[in-house]
Chains A and B, each alone.
Chain A
């Protein structure tokens, strides 16, 4: 936010809605479609009021068939529209994997550069709301495996407000993962907040002793952990990756080369994950800068439990992040 600008109190949900409204107003080719985005106002109430404002041509309820409506989005993008497709959760997006991975991500390549797909797909991800094992997983790291798409993970009000327009401007498919526990996050946002860049990680808290690398739903917990570490005299830097594909490797390496220690915090599972990829890049690019083995704080390798206490125990929490950082720092006990 620029110095001196007025701020307003808002929520992550309202910031996403403001971004949708701005996109619909600025470009008549933009339309939103997905399950319950119209009359119901969106499963998480993100698109509430948009049907009334923009009409059923541009706020379209779809049948319960992710494959069909993501495919329709790809077709619309090929035809010159700028579709925003909402999928209720990342778990449901698996029904549309064929469209996303086999079509959206490949058509530019397979057409010899003739047809690009300017499609944006938004979906929620993550746990924390007792929605159990078919609505709560963090599979954005899977999508980060796929060449041909970009993967954004807005974790702040600014990014919730600003990433959508930049994604729409991108000539190729962009997936935006909104962590479900963030929608109610309140904070101050500049009145004139607008588009933000999507290809750089951000240092959310500067520090000198250890780099805590995270994104999305675990950013707030990681920042709280950094504060707690600071009270123990450990100066933790917090890196918000913001974009998982392409990864800002330079920012990771630059930070770790200064602090010589790293902890990666990721609500995904460890095995074959984005956290593993980040570790690999640290090893490849900053091995001789490391003063301790990097550590990871990830979700327990179980389907997400329904009971609150088990769900809380399964995902990264502040005490776990603090403990991992202290261990990397060599603090005993």
Chain B
């Protein structure tokens, strides 16, 4: 079960998209998993053949639980990681009282014995969360076999109705609450703001869009995302994660785009490699991402990969964003309303489109000086929109 966000603890397997024997390659969608943030498509990162599906649809398992085993091209099937057995009942662990050589320890009555269950079935039961006390064994000597566990798991799932919108909404709220509380508890934020003159960017954008059919037109938010992605090349310590007491630079620039959901709440899935994509590609990918965020169908890598987040609240009339970093990321860039303002330059005052950019950054990783350089780089990049 992949972690699809810093505060995800468990997920429910909704559907397998592969069967044992199917060959898979990196990037294939293998399963659908329901989390507090909706149904996510889980991608695979290995190449090989699906060996065994270890978790049945409907089972809710903790993050880190093996979902399936994949057989590599040349290697034999790897036994799935061994799950440690739960400690036996205290009664059984207590040291036996000393007995004289002729005396035998009393044999526990059948009802007091541990259930007879095969090691394989016990392992499966732990993986899929089946309570073995409630399972009737059909194996040798009425022992519980893997088939019994699978049967119990599938029966346990059937009566459970899919999560209602209200339940999902409550779950999403809970997840946001956990992430934001952790952020405010752990991350020493510092905040910087800058007013950016958007007249060159908007003039270029208007001219550019005039040349394009309506369907291919660009939104200015794409320019903002692109500028943030490129500014990271100047100040790379904004891009990555704070993990185990140290900064871990992101592998690539994956900009999380905050998307508010119609029913409330938000997600911030990744636009992968935003520094390497053209404006057209970014526009296309962003629309796709927003649609899928709202309709369901985000991919696991999009949920777990963002290395920095951009949030744009200008449409709500917000002047300035004071952002809360999404842990374990280390920076969030916020944009307020794009509006005409009096702008003094070269001794005259004129009306220009201006946007307020803000940075919330993790002081454990960077300092205000570097944060200032980052905002300045975003400003500089937006003054040369034709190069974006």
**Could you tell me which A residues sit within 8 Å of B by CB distance?**
254, 257-258, 260, 286-293, 327-330
Contacts and interface: CB of A to CB of B under 8 A. Distances in A.
Given A254-B76, A257-B79, A293 B140 contact: yes
Given A260-B146, A330-B145, A289 B140 contact: no
A291 B79 contact: no
Nearest to B143: A292
B60 interface: no
7 contacts: A260-B118, A289-B119, A289-B120, A290-B118, A291-B118, A293-B118, A328-B140
Interface in B141-160: 143, 145-146
A116 to B, nearest CB: 34
A327 B120 contact: no
B120 A260 contact: yes
B114 to A, nearest CB: 14
Contact of A288 (B119, B138, B139): B119
Contacts of A258: 77
A291 B146 contact: yes
A249 to B, nearest CB: 13
Contacts of A292: 118, 139-140, 143, 145
A257 to B, nearest CB: 6
A67 B284 CA distance: 88
Nearest to B122: A288
B121 interface: yes
Contacts of A327: 140
Interface in B81-132: 82, 118-121, 123
Contact of B120 (A254, A288, A328, A330): A288
Contacts of A260: 118, 120, 146
A254 B78 CA distance: 10
Nearest to B146: A291
B123 A288 contact: yes
Contacts of A328: 140
Nearest to A289: B120
Contacts of B76: 254
A254 B120 CA distance: 15
B82 A288 contact: yes
A258 B20 CA distance: 13
A289 B121 CA distance: 9
A291 B120 contact: yes
A126 to B, nearest CB: 29
Interface of B: 76-77, 79, 82, 118-121, 123, 138-140, 143, 145-146
A201 to B, nearest CB: 15
Contacts of A286: 79
A257 B71 CA distance: 13
Nearest to A293: B140
Given A288-B123, A292-B143, 12 more contacts: A257-B77, A260-B118, A288-B119, A289-B79, A289-B120, A290-B120, A291-B139, A291-B146, A292-B118, A328-B140, A329-B140, A330-B143
Nearest to B77: A257
A330 B140 contact: yes
A102 to B, nearest CB: 38
Contacts of B119: 287-291
B132 to A, nearest CB: 14
Contact of B139 (A254, A257, A289, A330): A330
A254 B119 CA distance: 17
Which of B76, B77, B139 has the most CB atoms of chain A within a 10 A radius of its CB? B139
Nearest to B124: A291
Contact of B79 (A288, A293, A329, A330): A288
Contacts of A254: 76
Which of A257, A289, A292 has the most CB atoms of chain B within a 10 A radius of its CB? A292
Which of B76, B121, B140 has the most CB atoms of chain A within a 10 A radius of its CB? B140
Nearest to B145: A291
A229 to B, nearest CB: 15
A258 B71 CA distance: 13
B75 to A, nearest CB: 12
A135 to B, nearest CB: 37
Contacts of B79: 257, 286, 288-289
A291 B121 contact: yes
Contacts of B146: 260, 291
B375 to A, nearest CB: 55
Nearest to A288: B119
Nearest to B78: A257
B127 to A, nearest CB: 11
**Pairs of residues from A and B, 7 with the lowest C-beta to C-beta distance, nearest first:** A330-B139, A291-B118, A291-B120, A288-B119, A330-B140, A291-B145, A292-B140
A291 B118 CA distance: 5
A257 B69 CA distance: 13
A286 B139 CA distance: 19
Which of B79, B118, B121, B145 has the most CB atoms of chain A within a 10 A radius of its CB? B118
A290 B122 CA distance: 10
B113 to A, nearest CB: 15
A329 B79 CA distance: 22
A330 B116 CA distance: 13
Nearest to A286: B79
A290 B117 CA distance: 10
Nearest to B121: A291
A330 B141 CA distance: 7
Contacts of B118: 260, 290-293
A291 B143 CA distance: 9
Contact of B138 (A287, A290, A330): A330
A2 to B, nearest CB: 25
A50 B3 CA distance: 73
Contacts of A288: 79, 82, 119-120, 123
A289 B145 CA distance: 11
Nearest to B120: A291
A49 to B, nearest CB: 47
A289 B138 CA distance: 18
